[in-house]
Every structure is written in structure tokens, then in C-alpha cells.
A and B are shown apart, each in its own frame.
Chain A
Amino acid sequence: LSHGAGGRAMAQLIGEIFAENFANDLLAQGNDQAVFSVPPGRLAMTTDGYVVSPLFFPGGDIGSLAVHGTVNDLAMAGARPLHLSASFILEEGFPLADLQTIAQSMGAAAREAGVKIVTGDTKVVERGKADGVFISTAGIGVVPDGLDLSGDKARPGDVILVSGTIGDHGVAIMSSRENLAFETQILSDSAALNGLVADMVAACGPHLKLLRDPTRGGIAATLNEIAHQSKIGLRIEEDALPVKAEVAAACEFLGLDPLNVANEGKLLAFVAPEAAQDLLRVMRAHPLGKESAIIGACVEDPHHFVQMRTAFGGGRIVDWLSGEQLPRIC
């Protein structure tokens, strides 16, 4: 890819790549905007930027991630995602073949999630002004009437569920970044959760309090966010947390805690206690929720602490960490 002169031919080439891979009626109209009618209900809208190194990792790439992430942000409101936009910042010299691969995987991810990428934009910047490719996606979706999920809705007594094993994405990224080889390759869990959410809403909608995808910062960060938003404390059980053995081993070895490691295809659900077992059943029946588990409950706590009961019986305060691995042992 080149920056500046010769732009017209290039733009056309890129346009063809996207047209081919995202193929849908709205995009095919070739306008600077997509015009469409929306089904009844309230609209949900979200946007996110995707920056990841490496761009291609076991279980996904930046393209699939850019679709899944935005679809999931819509799904966490209980919304049925409709359309996405995609904006690309490409670094001069970025291989066209890689762009083709990324676009392909975005297209596939969108089709699988049942959404269309209906509008987009591309900019090429000078070498060094970007790292390969950055992608921004925005999305809109429709929230069914009567459903109102929000981070401040959890109450003492509500039950906390997770839709599967934690830490897979972060460990997959970290291992490919550090070039680590484990006996079993650890794949990112990157996936669109709107199908799972639709089943959950259909079965337990009125009892659902909130959903959230524990991405950056892992479930530790997300649980702390919710505890503060809802002004409650959370208590989780170490033994109940689903963690793949190879992820646990890799964490041990990298000096990480699975609680702090990112996920891209998992959700945390807070539900009224009377519906917890039903919800668990529904989640486990979905292919993306087979390893769902009840991991804890909400309690009154003026500190809004997230505490984990460990195998030894003590209560560990689960905190969010400031990103880097700053040792606390002195």
C-alpha cells in the first residue's frame, strides 16, 4: 500500500476488496451513507476502535475482533444487532494480501453474526504513523420492548454467571506475542454473543439485570465496574470459575491471573436468584455457553468490594490492576 500519489487506483482496489468480502445490498449501492428502515423497539448504538498486536492470532484476527467486539457491545444491552460501519487506518506499506485476509474474516464474522457492514472508510497514513492497521467499527441494533439492562441494576441476592472459560483471548494474544509454544495451542475465544443473548433474553428476559462482556482487564475489572455502578459488593468462588487447564498453566508461567486477562467471547450475566438455574440451563444449551457457570452473587457492601473465596477459605479482594504487571510484593 502506498500513501499519497497513485491514490485513485489504490482506493478502487481497496473498495473492491471490501465490496467483495462484505457483499450486501446497502453497501452495493455505493453511497456515502446507508439508508434503511428499522424494526420497532428502541435503538442501541455503540462504537469501538481496535488496535491489537499481533494482527493475526490463534483463533482470530483484528478483523473478526472488530466485528465481534461491536456486536457484543450491542448484545450486552439485549439488542439485536443490525448494521455496522467500518473505518480503516492503514499504514503505508501494509500488505494488500493481509488486508484481503482481514476483510475476509470480517465478512465471515458479520455473516455469522447476522449483521451487515453497510458503510465504511479507509485512510492510508505515512509509515510509522500507525501500526499496520487500526479498525473502528460502529453498530446499531434494536432492543426489544420491556427489556432494560444496565450496569446499575444488580441488587444484593442477584446471581452472577459467566458464559464459559476465562482468560482465553488474553493468553492466546500473549503467547503469540511472546512466541510461546504450549502443548495444546490456546485459541482466542473471540465470538459474537448476540445469538446466546437472544436465547437468554427469550427465556429469562424479565429476570435479567445486566449483561457485560469482560474484555480488557478481564472479569476482575468488569466485576469491579459493576460493583461500583450498582453500589453493591460481589462475592465469587474461586472453585467455581471455569478456567482451561492450559490457560491456568500459561498464566502461572506468564505471571498473570486469569481474572485480569481479557476475553472476547464471554459474557457475565446478573440475574434474579429465582431464575439463575433456568438461565444456566439456557446458556449451557447454546454452543457458545456450554461451559457456563454460576460464579457468585451480589451482597450489600458499602465498600463495593469484589471478594473471592479461595480454596483456603480466606476472602481475597479482587481488584482491577493498572494494566502493567507492577509487583506488589516488597
Chain B
Amino acid sequence: MRAAVVPAKETATRLRLRLRGAVQGVGMRPFVHGLALRFHLSGFVRNDAEGVLIEVEGFTRDFVSALRAELPPLARLDSCECEEIAPRGDAGFQIETTRRGKAQTRIPADAATCEKCLDDLFDPSSRFHLYPFVNCTHCGPRYTLTRALPYDRAQTSMARFPMCADCAQDYADPTNRRFHAEPIACPTCGPRLTHAPQEIVAALRAGAIVALKGIGGFHLLCDAHNAETVAELRRRKGREAKPFALMLANEASLALFGAPTPEEAALLRAPAHPVVLVESRKNLPEVLAPGMSRIGVMLAYAPVHHLLFHAAGAERDAPCDFALVATSANPGGEPLVTGNDEARRKLEKIADLIVTHDRDIVVRADDSVMQIVDGAPAFLRRARGFVPEPIDLGGDGPCVLACGGHLKATLTLTRGREAFVCQHIGDLSDAETFRFYEESAAHLLRLLDVQPEVVACDLHPDYLSTRFAENFGLPVLRLQHHAAHVAAIAAEHGETEIFGAALDGTGLGDDGAIWGGEVLRLDGRGGFLREGALAPLPLWGGDRAAREPWRMGLAAFAALGRLDEAAGFFSAVPQAAQVAKMLGARHPQTSSLGRLFDAAAALLGFPQKQEFEGQAAMRLEALVREPKALPGGYVWRDQKLDFTPLLAHLIDARPDPRKGAELLHGTLIAGLAEALCALAQVGEEIALGGGCMMNRILSEGLAQRLRENNHAPLLARKLPPNDGGLSLGQAALARAALKN
């Protein structure tokens, strides 16, 4: 074929290329323009509703391979169709201006300051020298400052800053890196910061807590080396133990604080600049992340961050010991603060200094949090840098709005073969967070300009997302929680019919029981079969059972028929004796793996109240060096996987916490793998979803064991495996049900 199109001695041809994917607002047109000039080609490039359309004429032989090889940093090609058409003999190469209407169909995600902009930032001869808002088509804020489509300056919060002559010239010049960089700005025409970086750094060095307006919201910053200030920040935020993330000057500084693997380092450098969990070097105060072996680290990603580190003496690409705690400014469980007045009102009692600027944050986005699991990136929280990138569902389908869970709520809206999952929202019980949730739904519907046929939600009647769905005014599909977890993993991989497990906290089962450790087979028509589950444990006290692991510790005794010993075991917990007495009576049961983790944590000496979900389980994970299976630690029989022998061992042998944690993880991996392999068909893929899959040891151990048995494990890659990904699974199930 190729030989027919391109003869050995090349003659002039005309090609039409259709690019799809993340190809708009990422500097694609100037890049193509430059490439055309390099190969002396005539023709044009333009954005349209489907992406980018290119026609080039001349000696085009190497154009396509160069295009693919040299794409701009933020561009991603989903497909590139190429056909030869009749030459037209036009002169020169044109960038055709965007046609209004349905064009500019996508808003790109926010991206960290690029190397070239850093050059400008620290180049005394550049007009962007030390300018905290420098950006270009390869970097900068986008989604967080865009109100509506099409994505151009008038629709962003930069609309109120008329470009100066220099900026206008760069913006209009196809050969310039800032050609159609919508947020382009310079000290002459752009936004301003309220405080000088030197002043901010002086405050930080003096032990102050600083609220700094960033890209998707305000951070609370303090000197990470100052244990007292970090402890003070915990007091003021009312957050005792939840780990804080660290912001570092640059990649070179990483080795001072952590031991990132090459994969982790690559993820830290990615345009999104997420927070990444890396092995801690433990040379920072323990109060930063009590009881954790890994710390969350991110690299400075906005020009203002670079300016702070610069003011603190950091040199570009040289290790810098100055490190900042950088945590979301979300007082009292409310959403991240984004507005200037709001910051002054709500952060007054938390921050000693509030630094703002006059570029509005239109869309709130927390920092994304990721880790490397089984050799590849995985999300703990998906927000800045990734929304609004769609997820390809692998095929067309009806338009649905899915409402997610309750605590880690997200929404998903589908359009054609794409699913748009909004950023991490949070606990809907908080009134402000619920408002954010509603705004996010409205924003998604407005941006995508589609009309859903149905809304999908959880079976749980008391999730506020369920109430939202009920009040939406469209037919409601109520979907089982764990089927949605498995469907989410399948959907990421473009599938609907799948076998898998949801290893999770709790969710309502379709039999009215409380599920959470389920082996399910999804039929691809919205239905599923429950092929296996964990043997249930008593669950007393509703949500309190998840907050106070000792309650699940008692449940372990109850399941073993040894309740009489329980009060003695938990003698340090005053209420244990009473609750033990109650457990003899009727009580709900749960097959949740999350609650089994809590039970084990309690038996291993972590019975106290948890400040955040999964805290006890995270501490156990942090203790594990190598998981070890306890022989006879589980029983797999009658489609029930029973870990009470392991619990009995934890009670009787009283292993130290590390040994116990290793036995727990090892035995869970062995038991779950055996059950899954027994239920799966030969060579079948196995989807692994649910909140417990954020446990890296468990995920990796299970994935490896499944591979050893010739099953390909499918893990959550594009969304978190916990309830943050639930809405995608609901959307996929709903579409499957509608097609049926």
C-alpha cells in the first residue's frame, strides 16, 4: 500500500489528516504549522468539532511520522486517519481560524508550568521574568478558569484582562509558543499577586501558616521542617492524623525526602503534577504523616510555587532542602476554598497570612493523588490535571448521568463513546459540598450540551446522591454498589461483560444486606450474578463500626463464638463490654473486606477511633514488608470465603503488629486469589475494584497471584478504585441496561 502512495522517488502528494483526542488548546496548530514549514508543505490546519483537520501538499513522506513523534507535550492522539486526496496546488500554509458553533469541543486539563516557561520565568531579559502567571500552550491553567465552551479567552476568567500589545502579538503569531494560549498574560496586562514571594517565604520561615491561592483552589502552606507549625496546622484544621502532602522545589529535591522509583519520578513530572505516594526518607517530622511509611509528594506546579522556592534560595534543577506542607484549604470538611472573599472569611482563623490574586478560579479542583500500583499509575483521588479528560467507553451508547456514592462522590455524564467524570467532590453530608456537587452536575451538562435519558444512582436510599437522582426529574436507575465498582473497572478497559471482585467498604446489596467483599459476574446487560462473597461478620452501630475498629474487633469474637473473651481483650475500651453483650442479640451482618481490615486492625492493637476512612487499614499496610499467608488462615467453601481462622490466630498468637499485618495481607491475597481462580473461567480476565484496592500491597499481591494462574488482572487506572470511580461504573451499567 505504502509503496503505491509513495513511490521510491517521491512526487508531490496531498494528504488529509484527521486527528482525534486531546488535540485542541494544546498548541497543536502552531506545531503543525512549524512542521509544514520544515517540510516545505502547503495546505492548512484547523480545529473543528471532531478535533483537528490537516491538509498538507508537497513531499509529505516524513510528515506523518514526524507529527506522531514530536507531538506537543499536552497533546494526545486517540486516532490519526490519513488519506491521499487530489493536489490543489495552493500556495503557503495557513492556520484557519476556528469556526464558531460546535467547534472547540474540549477544554484541556490544567498543566504544570513547562520548562520553556520556567526559562522565561527566570530570564531577566524576558518580559515574563518572575511573573507568577506565565503560561503557554504547553502549560498553565485551563479547565479551572473556563466557564463555558468554546474554549477561548472570552469564556475564561482571563476575559477581564485585555491583552497588551506584546501579548496580543504572541497570541496571534502561529510561530509563537503562545499562539492562542488563552490565559496568556504578562506583568503589563495580567493578574497580580497580593504579596511578594520574598514576603511569603519570610513568613513561612518564621513559622507562619500561609493560605495561597493556586490553580484549583487555596493551599495551606507551612514549613515542612517545622514540627511545631505542622502540629499547629493540625490543631487549626482539626485534623489529627490524616497525612499532609509535601510540595518540593523540583525533581532534584526528591531524593532528600523520599526514595521514588523511576515510575514514581516519571509520574511526579507528568504534566498534571499530581501528589504521588513515595517511600519516605523519614527526615521530616513524624507529625506530617503519622504512622505512614510513604508520604505524598508533589513538585511545584504553578509559577507562584516556583517563585516561592526561588525566593527560598532554590536553584533550578538543584536539590533544595526547603519543603512545604501543602494541604487543601477546606475548613471543617467543606470544599476547597476558591474565592478571595471566601478565603478571607473562612481561613482567617487557620492562616496567618492569606495570599490571593485577581484571576478567578472558576472550577474548583483539588490536587490529584496517585500511586504506582503493579508497575503503573493509579489514582487515590482524581482532580486537577486530569479533569475534564474523558474516558473512552469503547463504543457508542445512550446519554446517562450517573450520580456516584455519598462520601467520595463524583458524577459521570456520557456523550457518545466518551464518559466525562467530574473531579473529586467529597462528603455530600456537608451542605457546601453538596452545593459543589450540584454545580458540578450543572457544569457538566452545560459543557457537554447533552440531554441524558436516565439518571443512575446507588441502591442506598440515604446517599444524598440518591436523593439528587430522585429529584432530577428523569427516570432513575438504581444500581447495586459493588456491581458498579466492578463495572467501573470494566468500563475503563472498554468492556461491560466481565468477571471480577469488589473489595470494598460497605454498600447495600440487592438482598438488603450490607455487602463489601463480592465476586460478581456482570452480564453486559446491566445485570449481574453474585458468585461468591466473604463470610459475613456482625456489624453493629452502622457507620460507627467503620469509625471505631474495636466494634469490628468484637464482631470477630462474635463470629468465632467467643464473645465472652471479647471484653477482656478490649479492656482498654470502656464501651466494649456493653457492646459485646449486645452482639449476642440480633444484628446486621456484613461481607465487607474493609470491615474485616478494621477487625484485624483492632485485634492488632489499633482499636481507637479513626479520623478518616481506612486509617487503621492504611497503618497496617504501612507495616508490611512482605505479605505471608497463614497456613489454614481461611476456608473457601460453598462460595463463601471465611477468614475467621486468621482472626482466631490474631487473637490467640498475638503476633506483633508488623507480623500480624503481614499475615493479614498474605492470607487475604491467598484466599481471595483461590476464590477468584476457582470461580473464573479458564484464562478469563478478572476486574478488581473497590476501596480496598487502594491498598497497594493487596492489589499487587492479588494481581501477581492471578497472573500466575493465567488470569489477567484489570486494575483501576483512570479513576480511583473506591467510590470516586463509582459514577463511571453506574454510567456503564445504566448504558448496558438501556441497550438491552
Q: Which residues of chain B have C-beta atoms less than 8 A from A319's C-beta? A: 429, 462, 464, 467
Is the CB of A270 closer than 8 A to any CB of chain B?
no
How many angstroms from the CA of A327 to the CA of B598 in the assembled complex? 15
Q: Tell me the minimal C-beta distance from A249 to chain B in angstroms.
A: 9
A302-330 interface with B by 8 A CB criterion: 305, 307, 310, 312-317, 319, 321-322, 324-330
Q: Of the 9-residue stretches B115-123, B202-210, B404-412, B416-424, which lies at the interface with chain A?
A: B404-412
Name the prevailing secondary structure of the B interface residues. Answer: mixed
Which among B334, B582, B588, B722 is the interface contact of A180 at CB below 8 angstroms? B582
Residue A255 CB within 8 A of the other chain? yes
Q: Which residue of B lies closest to A307 (CB)?
A: B431
List, in ascending order, chain B residues with CB within 8 A of A32's CB: none
B333: chain A residues at CB < 8 Å are: 312, 314
Instruction: Report the bound CA distance from A310 to B432 in whole Å.
Output: 13
Measured between C-beta atoms, what is the minimum distance from A328 to chain B in Å?
Answer: 5
**Could you tell me if B431 and A305 are in contact, using CB atoms closer than 8 angstroms?**
yes
Contacts of A315 in B (CB 8 A): 430-432
Which of B351-359, B504-512, B529-537 forms contacts with chain A? B504-512
For residue A184, CB closer than 8 A to chain B, the reply is: no
Closest CB of chain B to A137's CB: distance in Å? 29
| Minimal beta-carbon separation of A246 from chain B (angstroms) | 13
The winner among A179, A307, A326 for most chain B CB atoms within 10 A is: A326
Given the complex of chains A and B, what is the CA–CA distance between A313 and B332 in angstroms? 6
**B578: interface (CB < 8 Å):** yes
- Kindly list chain A residues whose C-beta atoms are within 8 Å of the C-beta of B460: 326, 328
Q: What is the total number of residues of chain B having a CB less than 8 Å from a CB of chain A?
A: 52
Knowing A326-B542, A330-B481 are in contact, say whether A253-B578 is a contact too (CB < 8 A): yes
* Contact yes or no, A317 B581, CB < 8 A: no
A327 to B461, CA, bound (A): 11
B430 engages A317 (CB within 8 Å): yes
Known: A254-B541, A322-B462. A317 touches B434 (CB 8 A): yes
Contacts of A321 in B (CB 8 A): 462
Q: How far is the CA of A180 from the CA of B481 in the complex (A)?
A: 34
Whether B332 contacts A322 by the Cβ 8 Å rule is no
Cβ of B514 under 8 Å from chain A: yes
The closest CB in chain B to the CB of A180 belongs to B578
Contact, CB under 8 Å: B462 / A326: yes
A contact patch SS = loop
Shortest beta-carbon distance from A320 to chain B in Å: 8
* Interface members, chain B 572-612 (any A CB < 8 Å): 575, 578-579, 581-582, 585, 588, 590, 594
A25 at the interface (CB under 8 A from B): no
Docked complex Cα distance between A327 and B516 (Å) = 11
B184 interface residue (CB < 8 Å to A): no
Please tell me if B545 contacts chain A, counting CB pairs below 8 Å.
yes
Task: State the CA gap A305–B481 with chains docked (Å).
Answer: 26
Interface residue B381 (Cβ < 8 Å from any Cβ of A): no
The answer to whether the Cβ of B453 comes within 8 Å of any Cβ in the partner chain is no
Once bound together, how far apart are the Cα atoms of A329 and B581, in whole Å?
A: 25
Contact B431 A330 (CB under 8 A): no
User: What residues on A are CB-neighbors of B301 within 8 Å?
Assistant: none
Taking a contact as CB atoms closer than 8 A, the residue among B461, B541, B578 that contacts A255 in the complex is B541
- State whether A179 and B581 are in contact (beta carbons under 8 Å apart), knowing that A314-B332, A327-B546 are contacts in the complex: yes
With a cutoff of 8 Å between Cβ atoms, the chain A residues found around residue B703 in the complex are: none
A253-B575, A315-B432, A317-B430 given; name 9 further pairs at CB < 8 Å: A253-B541, A255-B543, A256-B542, A305-B434, A325-B588, A327-B505, A330-B405, A330-B481, A330-B722
Interface pairs A-B: 6 shortest CB-CB = A255-B541, A325-B542, A314-B332, A315-B431, A330-B505, A255-B544
A-side interface residues toward B, CB under 8 Å?
178-181, 252-256, 305, 307, 310, 312-317, 319, 321-322, 324-330
Partner-A contacts on B (CB < 8 A): 238, 331-334, 405-408, 428-432, 434, 460-464, 467, 481, 504-508, 514, 516, 539-547, 551, 575, 578-579, 581-582, 585, 588, 590, 594, 613, 691, 722-723
- The 20 sampled A-B contact pairs (Cβ below 8 Å) are A178-B582, A178-B585, A180-B582, A252-B575, A314-B333, A315-B432, A316-B431, A317-B428, A317-B430, A319-B464, A324-B588, A326-B461, A327-B539, A327-B546, A329-B506, A329-B613, A330-B405, A330-B408, A330-B506, A330-B722
